[in-house]
Chain A
Amino acid sequence: MSFLILTVALSTLSGAAQAVPNSAPTRSPKEIVDILWRRATEGEMLKADGWHRASGFYLHPTAFPGDRSIRVMSNHWGIEYSSVEENAAVVTVDCAEEGKIDSKMRFTSAPKSGTAKTGLIFHLVLAPTYSVMYAPDGKTVEKKTRGNQVWQISEAPAEAWTTVNTAIRFVLEVREKSNDPDIKKNADETVIRLLKLD
């Protein structure tokens, strides 16, 4: 019974997609990047399920890299600029890379940029989505239907990442769960350093 319901649901989705195969994307490039950063700020990009939920934002999504190394960005970030030219878009984000936290909870400051401010450039492309209907075995693709076009970020990150305040919580949680005195000591030092960042 549950399989039948799933099939019906997929058919419905597929039908909806077919009705508007090339309609305008529902989210602008700026919205895509903004949502991604908000999720990262909430810690979503530190967890496998959050990483997977965000995979649709990327043209070539990557597997969750784990939390061996956490990239820490500034609390203060904002979309500075966005532009769309046909099927390509650029979004720039006003932010600063603060550093990285390794699996032993050691924090390493990011290299100095030499300029007053720093930022990131996101390139996006307009790419189609697909609705897939599977056979009863749950694996064999019976039908793959081209759906709406969406903006997707060309380059996928290689590391889990978040902003400073969420990184502090992450480090404290790891510290709480760990019995390793070195990790606890490193975590204490890292939290002190992170608290000085903004």
Chain B
Amino acid sequence: MTVAELNPATGQPTWQVQAAGVWNGAQIVYCYGNGDAPEIATRNDGAVIISEPTNNGFPRLTLVQPNGGVELFSIPDSTSTVNGSQISVQCCMGPPMANEDGMAYVEYEVRNIGDTGITSDNLYLFQINPDNSTSSTLLSSTTDNEALLPGPIVPDGQGGVVATWTISPSNPPVPQYPYQAADVTGGSVGAPYNLPFSPKTVSPGQFPTIVLGQNGTAFASGPTTSTDGNNTALNQVVSFNIGSGAPNWLYQTSSQDTLSILSADADGGVAINDLQNGVLQLGAAGNSTQITAPLGGSPQYGWGGNWYLANAQGASLISPIAGVDAAGIWATPGGSPSHGNSTAALCSCLLQTDDPGDGSLARPALMAEGSHATDEPRAAAAPGGAPTNCIICSLSPPPSPNTTSCTTFPGTGATYLILVGDGGLQGHDVGNLFNLAAQQAANDLQTQGNKVIACRVSSIQNFNAAMTQNGLITGDLLYFGHSGLRSFSTQPPTYASLLFVGQATGDDTNIAAYNITVLCDSTAGCNIDNYLSANTAIRINGCDAGYTIGDYYSHGKQTSIAQILSNQLRRGVYAYAVGMYFSHLDASQDPYVDGRDPINPKKSRYVSSNLPMYLIPEGTPGNKPSAIPFTPQ
């Protein structure tokens, strides 16, 4: 058994930790049974915590630094005393968990067994601080001939964690509520409470799946038993208060059915997969809405915001089925699409907070690109907020709808057009970062000998004027600006895909299906071939413009603003289906996954207002996703 970290670009191990063999009868074995394999969590500094649930040869608790340095932690032994002879044994560890503040946690059990059974059992919460110092806190203890099996740990959304465990008696019956939980904040253990599940049996490694909702609510799915007198085993999803365990509502199904949690949703509810009834959304009050017919399997959420369904051919991309709380820190099972037992907001687009003091990711940002927070300094910026080598930064928005505000960088090659949208308003303002990324693109294109016309745009009319008043564009048209999805407060949620060109409100500040005909309106005599060459491609540098969704402004048709643009302008469009962020390194060099600060993921990472500047897609370093091509339909 080996745990290894693989380089995403080469697939080669960057470090690995191997287990020792274990004597089994007359031979050494290196195999592991169900539930015995090591569990892993990734801390936000890149360190990996590995725990071994049993005594199968792996160290009980290991921390591997990003550079491969290994640190082993001492976990107290359990004891077994038979006929007065005591031996020390390695007992049980739970899965580790890495919280957003850099703390990591894992539960361990110290079980003392005598001739008559379990004489005492103590369950501890082991805490690893960011400097790798440690402490242990007693969670629960018993002398009732029962084991306290370590369970998973989830964040409580307030900086603390909820530790869970299972009461497993040596002899039946299982208690009515064997699954226990307690909120632990600042080393203080809150009153333990029952999770409202009553399974007929319990076993190590089996525990309800928990995701964190909003406003102190969590959701869990797991086995229980009917209370109608038939004593039937059922699956159940429950909403409960994460501080007290008090249930808000329960959703149960028939004995033959299987329920699994897909995600905590932005509307305060939860999306579940009911194997017999399809994907359902259970609202904050427990009201059920069917989203899909039965899918034959349980969909999985991906880092790019897409849903996938495993099938015989591998995995297929399916339509969005849930309004995932993308800013939630444990919105999907295992904390993230990686199931890495680590807190992670799903999209760095959504990390701006209106109140840093309350410790919450309080509200969605209009700003899609996340690497610059407005409250951060721009120490490197020249007077006026822009460096002098950024000509585009000095362009003003056009004074009226059908006018342009452009600058030209001469060249003898093809003519490129760069359109730069507004930076955004207070709280979502990227300052000059779009301008800087556009300037970088202009510099790179001019270095290659091309002519570049760069224009500021604040409305669809500005966009159209810049496109149709600059002669024939023989290179590509590049857009740098806000884009993405708008959600409407409907049940189920409704979405639209737009380019948020302007920062003002109003029907012409955005580009969407409802006003797309403003761009080179053929009914008014516009011929796109007069303005864009047949080889011109449109490249959208903005968040989620290639994300396909049931677009409200297209009467619910599955499409994206990239496809809508391609259809209207009869040209190929390249756009990303993921968020984007700013970096001084290009996509092949940038070492980050997204624009979050690695120390405080609630914050966006600082970039200075200087060149070089790139707007790059979220994704694995060295293996960023490519822009998706869209062709006219």
Residues of A within 8 A of B (CB): 76-83, 92, 94-98, 108-121, 193, 196-198
Contact = CB atoms under 8 A, between A and B. Distances in A.
Q: Which 9 pairs of residues, A with B, have the shortest CB-CB distance?
A: A78-B505, A116-B484, A114-B326, A114-B266, A115-B487, A115-B485, A117-B486, A198-B426, A78-B506
B95 to A, nearest CB: 26
Contacts of B367: 116
Given A112-B266, A114-B326, A114-B327, A96 B488 contact: no
Nearest to B495: A115
Given A79-B507, A109-B354, A193-B355, A116 B362 contact: no
Interface residues of B, number: 58
B425 to A, nearest CB: 6
B50 interface: no
B350 A112 contact: yes
Nearest to B483: A116
Interface string B212-240: 00110000000000000000000000000
Nearest to B494: A121
Contact of B482 (A78, A108, A116, A196): A116
B411 interface: no
B489 A116 contact: no
B360 A109 contact: yes
Given A80-B510, A81-B553, A193-B354, A115 B364 contact: yes
A119 B510 CA distance: 13
B326 A117 contact: no
20 contacts: A76-B505, A78-B509, A80-B505, A111-B268, A112-B214, A112-B328, A112-B364, A113-B323, A114-B323, A114-B346, A115-B485, A117-B366, A118-B488, A119-B488, A121-B489, A193-B354, A193-B358, A196-B354, A196-B355, A198-B425
Contacts of B354: 98, 109, 193, 196-197
B504 interface: yes
Contacts of A119: 486-489, 496
Contacts of A82: 507
User: A82, A98, A114: which has the most chain B beta carbons within 10 Å?
Assistant: A114
A115 B493 CA distance: 11
B364 to A, nearest CB: 5
A50 B303 CA distance: 47
Nearest to B266: A114
A92 B498 CA distance: 14
B486 A111 contact: no
Given A112-B362, A193-B355, 14 more contacts: A76-B505, A80-B506, A81-B507, A81-B512, A81-B514, A92-B552, A94-B510, A109-B354, A111-B267, A114-B325, A114-B346, A116-B367, A120-B488, A196-B355
Contact of B488 (A77, A92, A114, A198): A92
Contacts of B346: 114
B368 A116 contact: yes
Contacts of B514: 81, 83
A109 B186 CA distance: 25
Contact of A96 (B363, B496, B544): B363
A77 B483 CA distance: 18
A101 B188 CA distance: 31
Interface in B362-386: 362-368
Interface of B: 214-215, 265-268, 323-328, 346-347, 349-350, 354-355, 358, 360-368, 425-427, 482-490, 494-496, 498, 500, 504-507, 509-510, 512, 514-515, 543-544, 552-553
Contacts of A196: 354-355, 427
User: A80, A83, A120, A121: which has the most chain B beta carbons within 10 Å?
Assistant: A80
B366 A112 contact: no
B266 A111 contact: yes
B214 A79 contact: no
Nearest to A90: B552
A98 B363 contact: yes
Contacts of A115: 266, 326, 364, 484-487, 495
Nearest to B362: A109
B485 A108 contact: no
Contacts of A98: 354, 363
Contact of B363 (A80, A83, A112): A112
Contacts of B426: 198
B505 A97 contact: no
B48 to A, nearest CB: 28
Contacts of A116: 349, 364-368, 482-486, 500, 543-544
Contacts of A78: 504-507, 509
Contacts of B483: 116
Contacts of B266: 111-115
A75 B106 CA distance: 45
B487 A113 contact: yes
Given A81-B514, A196-B354, A117 B500 contact: yes
A46 B447 CA distance: 59
Given A92-B488, A121-B490, A193-B355, A114 B364 contact: yes
Contacts of A111: 214-215, 266-268, 325
Nearest to B360: A109
Nearest to B347: A114
B327 to A, nearest CB: 5
Nearest to B504: A78
Contact of A121 (B326, B488, B510): B488
A114 B350 contact: yes
Nearest to A80: B507
B312 to A, nearest CB: 31
A110 B487 CA distance: 14
Contacts of B489: 97, 118-121
A198 B347 CA distance: 22
A111 B157 CA distance: 13
Contact of B425 (A76, A112, A113): A76
B486 A118 contact: yes
Contacts of B350: 112, 114
B486 A94 contact: yes
A108 B488 CA distance: 20
Nearest to A79: B507
A110 B363 contact: yes
Nearest to A198: B426
A196 B358 CA distance: 13
A188 to B, nearest CB: 13
Nearest to A30: B507
Contacts of B364: 96, 112-118
Contacts of B495: 115
Nearest to A196: B354
User: A81, A82, A94, A113: which has the most chain B beta carbons within 10 Å?
Assistant: A113
Contacts of B265: 114
Contacts of B506: 78-80, 94
